[in-house]
Structure 1
Amino acid sequence: MLHIVKRQMHLILGSVFFLTGLVGIVLPILPTTPFMILAAGCFAKSSPRFHQALLNNRWIGQDLQRWERERTMLRITKIRATWVIVIMFSISIAILMGKFWIQGMLVGIAVILLFFLWRVPESKNESQ
Structure 2
Amino acid sequence: MTKSITSPVKNVLWNILGTLSVILGVVGIVLPLLPTTPFLLLASACFFRGSPKFHAWLLAHPKLGPVIADWDNHRSIAPGVRVKGGLFIILSFALSIILVSSYWLKLALFLLFVAIFTFFLRIPVKQSVADNSENH
TM-score normalised to structure 2 length: 0.81
Counterpart code for 2:117: L
Identity across matched positions, percent: 33
Q: Which consecutive residues of structure 2, in runs of 5 or more, have no partner in the other structure?
A: 131-136
Cα gap change, 1:51 to 1:83, in 2 (>3 Å): same
Q: Which consecutive residues of structure 1, in runs of 5 or more, have no partner in the other structure?
A: none
Residue 103, structure 1, aligned to residue 129, structure 2 = no
Conservation of the 8 A alpha-carbon contact between 1:29 and 1:109: no
Tell me, in whole angstroms, the C-alpha distance in 2 between the residues paired with 1:110 and 1:95.
15
Counterpart code for 2:84: R
Q: Which runs of 4+ in 1 moved over 4 A?
A: none
Displacement of 1:126 in angstroms is 6.3
Displacement of 1:113 in angstroms is 1.3
Per-residue CA distance 1:37-89 (angstroms, 9 max, x = gap): 11011111112222222212222221111111122112331121010110111
Residue 21, structure 1, aligned to residue 25, structure 2 = yes
What's the secondary structure of 1:59's corresponding residue? coil
The structure whose Rg is larger is 2
- Aligned alpha-carbon RMSD (Å): 1.8
Residue 125, structure 1, aligned to residue 132, structure 2 = no
How many residue pairs get aligned? The number is 126
Where does residue 133 of structure 2 map in the other structure?
A: none
Tell me, in whole angstroms, the C-alpha distance in 1 between the residues paired with 2:9 and 2:118.
37
